[in-house]
Amino acid sequence: MEGKVIIVTGGASGIGRSVCLELALKKCKVVVADINYDQCLETIEMMKKAEPSSEGFAVLCDISKSDQVTNMMSETIKRFERVDGAVNNAGILGSMGRIGDYDEAMFTKMLNINVMGTFLCIKSQVQQMEKQGPSNYSIVNISSIAGILGFPYNSGYSAVKHAILGLTKSTAAEYGCMGIRCNSVLPGASDTPMLQQYIPTDEARAQLIGHTPLRRLSQPNEIAKSVVYLLSNDSSFVTGQSLVVDGGLSII
């Protein structure tokens, strides 16, 4: 993977940051995109510490804004002249509540960021890859086990993560002839700031761990390694698939 140009959205923290660090170790050229620009710069610094020869730059991007997604790709091409892969990771958890009580404005916000934002990113990526011509490209979308299960008290999150699986399969079917693979990674409970937002108490955390067959949370780098596998040629005949990385949580 050395020298491959990879865009990572949501690269300022959590799983996205861990993906950037793993790619740095592989000596990829990494575009770290997020709405939190200062934290993107922190990710770049961490990449340099992990692999001094790593290349990358930060770009401010709200993925729900078409012009910002276009700028993200323009900056990538300006700096690295091509794109070989992408990790569409940016998204929000939303608020909690039963469907009958769920805030409509929040549901719309989740659709705009998690679904429309992912769509805009994929659209930009496949357009650029088509311009470059057939090659070995890979796009990885971050969904969740909420995309294959009902997710009580956050129907918005479940809905958008289901939608990402549909986008993944459609992209794989439409662009396989261009050498573009597209897959999803479905994390379970990973020890990230987003999980801490959803499960703020030690009691709730212990209960979740108790329902996970491996009896622990995943670390973000464990999810990141699965993402890197799908970006690499080790998965060269894998497309349109959903890789569940959840410690067995979804089988219970």
Q: In whole angstroms, give the CA distance from residue 140 to residue 24.
A: 17
Amino acid at 85: G
Q: The domain spanning residue 21 has which CATH number?
A: 3.40.50.720
Q: Which of 102, 137, 157, 175 is catalytic?
A: 157
**129 domain-assigned:** no
**For residue 127, is it within any domain?**
no
Q: Is 234 exposed, middle or buried (0-12, 13-18, 19+ CB in 10 A)?
A: exposed
Q: What is the pTM of this model?
A: 0.95
* 198 is a domain residue: yes
Question: In terms of residues, how long is the chain?
Answer: 252
Tokens of 175: 């662009």
The type of residue at 178 is: M
Closest Cα partner for 143 from 91, 184, 192, 190?
A: 184
50 within some domain: yes
Q: Is residue 128 part of a domain?
A: no
Residue 162: inside a domain, yes or no? Answer: yes
Tokens 């799908």 — which residue?
A: 230
The answer to whether residues 139 and 180 touch, using CB atoms and an 8 Å cutoff, is yes
Tens place of pLDDT per residue across the chain (252 aa): 999 999 999 999 999 999 999 999 999 999 999 999 999 999 999 999 999 999 999 999 999 999 999 999 999 999 999 999 999 999 999 988 999 999 999 999 999 999 999 999 999 999 999 999 999 999 999 999 999 998 889 899 999 999 999 999 999 999 999 999 999 999 988 888 777 777 778 888 888 888 899 998 889 999 999 999 999 999 999 999 999 999 888 988
* Number of domains comprising the chain: 1
Does any domain span residue 252? no
Domain that holds residue 74: 5-119+134-245
Cα-trace Rg, the chain = 17
Q: Are strands 180-187 and 137-142 parallel, antiparallel or unpaired?
A: parallel
157 is catalytic: yes
Residue 76 maps to a domain: yes
Show the tokens assigned to 176: 């396989």
